[in-house]
Structure formats: structure tokens, C-alpha cells
Amino acid sequence: MKLLESYSKGVSAHGIDIKTQQFKRLKKWHFFANGVSLCGKYKQVKNDNLLPAGMIHSHEMCAKCRKILKKILKEEN
């Protein structure tokens, strides 16, 4: 895993609220894929560097994002 690599999918603690269109520093990490968080609450900030999901503890991630990510990973295996 290379930390300085740019990832198309991953976690971030920044997002743009879909309802208000305002930038937010998020309390929990959210998993972004295709520019939107898995929970559907946030859009990815343009040029934001995403980290691989394995870089954070699971209790630090949004519960809904974590649940959906687990389901996706289970289906891939």
C-alpha cells in the first residue's frame, strides 16, 4: 500500500453535504466511491486525497458506510 498514491475509492473526513451543498469537516470518516459517500450524505471534495479504508479503525467510520462496505467486500469474495 502506497500512502502517496491517489485512490479513486477510499475514506475521507471531509465532504460536501448533499442537502446544503456546504463543505464540512466530518466527525466520522466516510467511504467514497464514484464521488459520493456510501451512506449517500456527502459528495467528495474535489481533489481530496482519499485513504484506503484499512488505514482507520472501524469505530472511526460512519456506521452506515461501514455496513455497506462490509456487504460489498463480502460479495466480492
Q: What is the number of structural domains in the chain?
A: 1
Looking at the domain assignment, is residue 67 inside a domain? Answer: yes
Looking at the domain assignment, is residue 63 inside a domain? Answer: yes
Looking at the domain assignment, is residue 3 inside a domain? Answer: no
Q: Is the pLDDT of residue 2 over 80?
A: no
**pLDDT tens-digit readout, 24-54:** 999 999 999 999 999 999 999 998 889 988 8
> 16 vs 5, 10, 45, 46, 76, CA distance in Å?
23, 16, 6, 9, 29
Please tell me the predicted confidence (pLDDT) of residue 3. Answer: 57
Looking at the domain assignment, is residue 1 inside a domain? Answer: no
Looking at the domain assignment, is residue 4 inside a domain? Answer: no
Range of the domain at 50: 10-76
Looking at the domain assignment, is residue 49 inside a domain? Answer: yes
Say what percent of the chain tops pLDDT 70. 92
- Helices H, strands E: what count in the chain? 1, 4
The reported pTM is: 0.89
Q: Is the pLDDT of residue 4 over 80?
A: no
